[in-house]
Every structure is written in structure tokens, then in C-alpha cells.
């Protein structure tokens, strides 16, 4: 019997996870990637001895990688290693308050009691509820297609629905957090989790309160060698499973006939397959690869997620007060998100995220006594702005804030600099308007409105990655690969 053939468009995290799974169940798998290397957003580069992860920088839920490798008959430890972090994040406020957000929930609760007089019982209860919500409702709906009828006949669906409290439905994340916590700093800290899928805490549902579970009950982790190690592990897994990679080859179109896909066209050559899996932004898949403008327009009815401007700085000293993950909070969170989502504009006091992998691997990730800073601020997802002109202003606002909070003069310490902005994000990763997570979750029904992992209009066409169910970020991309492969396996 001839093996079924699958073509995967894009070698991002979800694309490679899908390819490895399909190869493990007997498919002949070919990946076409327009860039010269795998990873999608999860790439890296080096400059003058400073190593930078170019994209996602937070690693949680390593069990999802373990499960993937075990499914493929391999041990994760043979490809990849990581270590748990004692402190998930360090939070800095304008008034000088510094909060160490420990991965251990009890230590984190004690820290909030000590720093902002938040009740330890309240914090521990919040995180316990976050765990329950994640393990009941979250795990079910994040692990199954919301667009297949059989999902709702699953024996666990009632248990999942019972985990949805009225407060999660009625309130946005900010309203829910304000009901729980008495200190505005704690509210702001837990509001931040809406940004994990590019949303606003003032619009996104309180269901997102399940996200803190991953950091403060399960923990955050550092992959040895940086985040790029995840890309390398997935690539090596695919190669071992027999997946064929084709780099520097952009897919021109998806071949379709009588509403069924037959393969792809690359450089004028037809490649036929039994199914096609797109790891591209679903909008670009319809618009550019299928020339279906009507389907593409439907995608745009949903609000896009936020984007980012990232500075990669080689810093000529070490900052003892900083950790692996650091947040310097805006003094007015509401105005910041209003600027991003309502005004589609920049905010002059942005919240700053600084990731420093040399904290975990000194003298490897950066030269001796120096640090590699990944400095990110959230911005609107659009490419109509002249980002080259705006970068100096954004940099000025970032430097002013860092100087205030860390009491330094950071600009004179920068000896290496590279910049990434929405236009570059779109061109490099085919993310429409540079949105990092496809559509936002700024509505109560956002999870159900996100595009499915398969097409109702094109038989044999499937989707994975951050622009489709269940969403963006490494954990959800791994889940989308699993969901899609299960659908394909059931089909074939």
C-alpha cells in the first residue's frame, strides 16, 4: 500500500510538530519553508559574541514537548534539556516596588504579602482556582477542536463546562482581578497575562485567569542553549522521523480542484499530496495561496492581536537587580492598552519586557561580564506606520523608563543593537499586520470564533499555528499540532 503524503507549509513550531506526528503515523511528509532556517518566529542570531533568541522567550509546560517526543517514539532528553527557574518574573513599578514572582505559589503569595500587603490566602486561592480552571475547562477546550460535533459528545465536556464559573463569563480579566485583589499592583500583575495572546485585560474574558497556573503552579523553565534549542530539537526530531525539509522555497499557491486540495505549486512546479497543512497565517493562506478574498475577509472580522517592537541590545555590563524575565510596568496600564487597541497608536510610557538569557548561561550567551538584552514593548498590529521613523521615539521612551527604574544610563552601555518591528515581523513570518498571535481574545466568544484546524470549504486542507485554534504561543502551537493530526488521522 502506498503511503499517504502530506505537505506542510511553514517550518514553525506547529508546522514541525505536525510533521513529526504525521511521519510517526506513517505519512510521507514534506515541509516547504520560505526562510533559510526552521523555527518561524522561534529563531536566533549572534552578533559580536552576543546571542539572541529572536522571538518567543518564555518556556512553560515542558510536558507538552515530552508528550510530543513520546508520541514519536523518542525521549525528549536525547534532544533537549531544561531547568526550572525559581523566579518566574521580576516586576518593577515606578514607585520603586520590586516583586519577585516565584514559580512556587506559596512563596509567591508570601512575596505579595510582604511587598504590597496582599492576602496570602487570597493569592493562593486565586492560583488554585487558576489550576482548576486550566485542568478542567482549559485542558478540554485547548486539547480538542471546537469545530467538530464529536467534541461536544465527549464524556468530559460536562466536567469542562462545570468549571466555567459565572464570574469568568460575566467579567473581563481586569474586572475579575479587581474583585479578587485589593492592591492595584497585584491587579496589574495578573492583568498582564492577557498579553500572552496579544489581548487587552480590559476586553479579554476572565477565563484567561487560567494562564497564571502555568507559571506559578507548574513553573517557568530555561532551555539550555536558549529558546532556539526548542527549534533545533523539533528539527532534529523531524529529520529522524524522515521528514523532508525544503528551505528557501516559498509556496506560490495551493492546488485545489472541486473544493479539494491536491498539493502545492513551488517555483512553478506542482507537488501533489493527500493533504496540505498550512502553518502560515490563515489570512495569508486564503488570500495569497488560495486566491479566496472572501474567505480572507471573514478572518479580518476578528480583531488582530497586538504586535511588538523588539530591541536586541548587547549591554556592556551586568545588572544584578535583573533576572531572566523582567517587567517594567507602565504607570497607567489602562491608557497603554487604550492606545494599542482603541487608538491604534504608541503609548509614551510602555510596559517593558527584558529577557536576559546570559543570566542562566553567562559567558555563553554573552561575553564575560556583559549581558544580552531582549527588550520588547507591545504596539498595535499594523504595517501602515513608518516604523523606521518611529523607532527612535520608541527607543527614547524605553531608555527613559529603564533609566528611571534601574537608576542607570543604559544608552551608553549599548554596544550591539538590532531591531524588529511589525513590518519586519509580517515579512519574515507571514503574520498579517505583524500580529504576534493572529486574532486577539478581546471578546467572550473569541475562542470559538478563532479559525478551526481544518477547512470546511477545501477538503484535505488543515491549519496549525498561532492564527488558528487554540491560539498563539509555544504551548498552544504544540496543542494545535496535536489537534490537527488527530483530525487527519481520523480522516485517513
pLDDT tens digits, 200-214: 999 999 999 999 999
Alpha-carbon gap, residue 37 to 79, rounded angstroms: 18
The whole-number pLDDT of residue 161 equals 57
Question: For residue 99, is it within any domain?
Answer: yes
Domain end marker among 377, 407, 429 = 429
Q: Is the pLDDT of residue 181 over 90?
A: yes
CA distances from 429 to 58, 107, 249, 434 (A): 19, 39, 14, 8
Domain end marker among 195, 218, 241 = 218
Residues 200 and 248 in one domain: no
Alpha-carbon gap, residue 16 to 395, rounded angstroms: 35
Alpha-carbon gap, residue 135 to 153, rounded angstroms: 19
- Grid coordinates representing 480 are 494545535
Q: The domain spanning residue 460 has which CATH number?
A: 3.50.50.60
The mean pLDDT value for 274-300 works out to 95
Segment 288-334, tens digit of pLDDT:
999 999 999 998 888 999 999 999 999 999 999 999 999 999 999 99
Residue 167: pLDDT band with limits 50, 70, 90: low
Could you give the 3-state DSSP secondary structure of residue 420? strand
Residue 163: pLDDT band with limits 50, 70, 90: low
The mean pLDDT value for 396-425 works out to 97
The mean pLDDT value for 116-134 works out to 96
**How many domains is the chain built from?**
3
- Grid coordinates representing 248 are 528557501
Half-sphere exposure of 306 (CA within 13 A, CB side): 27
Q: Are 99 and 126 in contact (CB under 8 A)?
A: no
The mean pLDDT value for 373-400 works out to 96
Q: Are 352 and 325 in contact (CB under 8 A)?
A: no
Q: Are 127 and 217 in contact (CB under 8 A)?
A: yes
Residues 72 and 105 in one domain: no
Question: For residue 436, is it within any domain?
Answer: no
Q: State yes or no: cis peptide before 470, omega within 30 of 0.
A: yes
Strands 28-32 vs 244-246: parallel, antiparallel or unpaired = parallel
Q: Are 37 and 43 in contact (CB under 8 A)?
A: yes
Segment 234-245, tens digit of pLDDT:
999 999 999 999
The whole-number pLDDT of residue 170 equals 87
Q: Closest by alpha carbon to 196, among 249, 142, 232, 159?
A: 142
The whole-number pLDDT of residue 300 equals 87
Residue 158: pLDDT band with limits 50, 70, 90: low
- Grid coordinates representing 122 are 487570597
Residues 323 and 419 in one domain: yes
Q: What is the DSSP string of 305-358?
A: PPEEEEEEEEESS--TT--SEEEE--S-HHHHHIIIIIS-S--SS--EEEE-GG
Residues 106 and 204 in one domain: yes
Residues 144 and 188 in one domain: yes
Query: If you average pLDDT over every residue of the chain, what do you get?
Result: 94
Question: For residue 437, is it within any domain?
Answer: no
Residues 411 and 341 in one domain: yes
The whole-number pLDDT of residue 160 equals 55
Residue 411: pLDDT band with limits 50, 70, 90: very high
The whole-number pLDDT of residue 368 equals 97
The mean pLDDT value for 465-489 works out to 95
- What share of the chain has pLDDT > 90, as a percent? 86
Residues 262 and 331 in one domain: no
The mean pLDDT value for 16-34 works out to 98
| Domain span at 91 | 86-218
- What share of the chain has pLDDT > 70, as a percent? 95
Q: Is the pLDDT of residue 445 over 80?
A: no
Q: Is the pLDDT of residue 150 over 80?
A: no
Q: What is the dihedral of CA 153, 154, 155, 159, to 10 degrees?
A: -100
Q: Is the pLDDT of residue 175 over 80?
A: yes
- Grid coordinates representing 95 are 514607585
Residues 157 and 204 in one domain: yes
Question: For residue 256, is it within any domain?
Answer: yes
Question: For residue 434, is it within any domain?
Answer: no
Residues 393 and 424 in one domain: yes
Q: What is the DSSP string of 221-255?
A: EEETT-THHHHHHHHHHHHHTTPEEE-S--EEEEE
Residue 152: pLDDT band with limits 50, 70, 90: low
The mean pLDDT value for 117-129 works out to 97
The whole-number pLDDT of residue 156 equals 65
Q: Is the pLDDT of residue 176 over 60?
A: yes
The whole-number pLDDT of residue 122 equals 98
Dihedral class, residue 10 (left if φ above 0, else alpha if ψ from -120 to 50, else beta)? left
Alpha-carbon gap, residue 116 to 131, rounded angstroms: 23
The pTM for the full model equals: 0.95
Q: Is the pLDDT of residue 146 over 80?
A: no
Strand order in the sheet with 275-278: 244-246, 28-32, 5-9, 275-278, 461-463
The whole-number pLDDT of residue 12 equals 97
Q: For residue 54, how far is the Cα from the chain centroid?
A: 13
Residue 450: pLDDT band with limits 50, 70, 90: confident
The mean pLDDT value for 212-219 works out to 96
DSSP 8-state secondary structure symbol assigned to residue 278: E
- Grid coordinates representing 348 are 509614551
Element (H, E) at 486: helix 474-491
Question: For residue 435, is it within any domain?
Answer: no
Residues 30 and 70 in one domain: yes
Domain end marker among 218, 246, 272 = 218
The whole-number pLDDT of residue 168 equals 74
Residues 33 and 123 in one domain: no
Residues 102 and 197 in one domain: yes
Q: The domain spanning residue 326 has which CATH number?
A: 3.30.519
Question: For residue 421, is it within any domain?
Answer: yes
Q: Is the pLDDT of residue 262 over 90?
A: yes
Residues 6+ apart with CB under 8 A from 19: 6, 8, 11, 29, 31, 238, 241, 243, 277
Q: What is the DSSP string of 368-412?
A: TT-EEEEEEEEE-S-SSS-HHHHHHHHHHHHHHHHHHHHTS-GGG
The whole-number pLDDT of residue 400 equals 98
Range from 97-101, 157-161, 229-233 carrying the lowest mean pLDDT: 157-161
- Residue 9 pairs in a beta bridge with 32, 278
Question: For residue 413, is it within any domain?
Answer: yes
The mean pLDDT value for 130-137 works out to 88
358 or 159: which leads in pLDDT:
358
Amino acid at each position: 500500500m502506498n503511503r499517504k503524503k502530506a505537505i506542510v507549509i511553514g517550518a514553525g513550531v506547529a508546522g514541525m510538530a505536525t510533521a513529526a506526528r504525521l511521519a510517526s503515523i506513517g505519512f510521507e511528509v514534506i515541509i516547504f519553508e520560505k526562510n533559510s532556517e526552521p523555527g518561524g518566529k522561534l529563531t536566533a542570531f549572534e552578533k559580536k559574541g552576543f546571542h539572541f533568541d529572536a522571538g518567543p522567550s518564555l518556556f512553560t509546560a515542558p510536558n507538552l514537548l515530552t508528550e510530543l517526543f513520546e508520541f514519536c517514539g523518542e525521549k525528549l532528553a536525547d534532544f533537549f534539556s531544561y531547568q526550572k527557574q525559581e523566579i518566574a518574573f521580576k516586576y518593577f513599578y515606578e514607585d520603586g516596588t520590586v516583586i519577585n514572582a516565584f514559580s512556587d505559589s506559596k512563596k509567591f503569595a508570601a512575596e505579595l504579602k510582604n511587598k504590597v500587603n496582599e492576602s496570602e490566602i487570597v493569592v493562593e486561592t486565586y492560583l488554585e482556582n487558576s489550576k482548576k480552571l486550566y485542568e478542567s475547562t482549559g485542558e478540554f477546550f485547548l486539547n480538542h477542536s471546537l469545530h467538530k460535533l464529536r467534541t461536544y459528545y465527549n464524556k468530559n465536556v460536562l466536567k469542562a463546562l462545570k468549571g466555567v464559573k459565572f464570574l469568568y463569563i460575566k467579567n473581563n480579566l481586569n474586572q475579575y482581578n479587581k474583585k479578587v485583589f485589593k492592591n492595584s499592583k497585584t491587579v496589574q500583575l495578573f492583568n498582564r497575562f492577557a498579553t500572552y495572546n496579544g489581548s487587552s485585560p480590559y476586553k479579554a474574558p476572565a477565563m484567561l485567569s487560567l494562564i497564571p497556573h502555568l507559571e506559578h503552579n507548574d513553573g517557568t523553565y530555561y532551555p539550555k542553549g536558549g529558546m532556539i534549542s526548542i527549534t533545533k530539537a523539533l528539527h532534529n526530531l523531524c529529520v529522524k522521523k524522515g521528514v523532508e525539509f525544503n528551505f528557501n522555497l516559498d509556496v506560490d499557491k495551493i492546488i485545489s480542484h472541486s473544493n479539494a486540495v491536491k498539493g502545492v505549486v513551488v517555483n512553478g512546479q506542482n507537488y501533489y499530496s493527500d493533504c496540505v497543512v498550512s502553518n502560515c497565517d490563515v489570512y495569508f493562506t486564503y488570500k495569497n495561496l488560495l486566491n479566496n478574498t472572501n474567505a480572507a475577509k471573514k478572518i479580518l472580522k476578528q480583531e488582530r492581536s497586538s504586535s511588538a517592537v523588539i530591541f536586541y541590545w548587547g549591554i556592556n555590563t551586568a545588572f544584578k537587580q535583573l533576572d531572566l524575565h523582567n517587567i517594567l510596568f507602565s504607570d497607567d496600564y489602562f491608557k497603554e492598552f487604550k492606545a494599542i487597541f482603541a487608538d491604534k497608536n504608541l503609548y509614551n510610557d510602555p510596559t517593558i519586557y527584558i529577557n536576559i538569557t546570559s543570566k542562566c548561561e553567562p559567558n555563553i550567551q554573552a561575553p564575560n561580564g556583559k549581558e544580552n538584552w531582549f527588550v520588547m514593548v507591545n504596539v498595535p498590529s499594523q504595517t501602515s506606520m513608518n516604523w523606521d521613523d518611529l523607532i527612535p521615539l520608541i527607543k527614547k521612551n524605553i531608555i527613559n523608563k529603564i533609566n528611571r527604574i534601574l537608576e542607570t544610563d543604559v544608552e551608553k552601555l549599548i554596544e550591539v543593537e538590532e531591531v524588529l518591528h511589525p513590518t519586519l515581523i509580517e515579512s519574515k513570518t507571514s503574520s498579517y499586520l505583524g500580529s504576534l498571535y493572529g486574532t486577539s481574545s478581546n471578546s467572550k466568544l473569541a475562542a470559538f470564533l478563532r479559525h478551526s484546524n481544518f477547512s470546511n470549504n477545501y477538503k484535505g486542507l488543515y491549519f496549525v499555528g498561532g492564527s488558528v485554534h487554540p491560539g498563539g504561543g509555544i504551548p498552544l502551537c504544540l496543542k494545535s499540532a496535536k489537534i490537527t493530526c488527530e483530525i487527519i488521522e481520523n480522516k485517513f
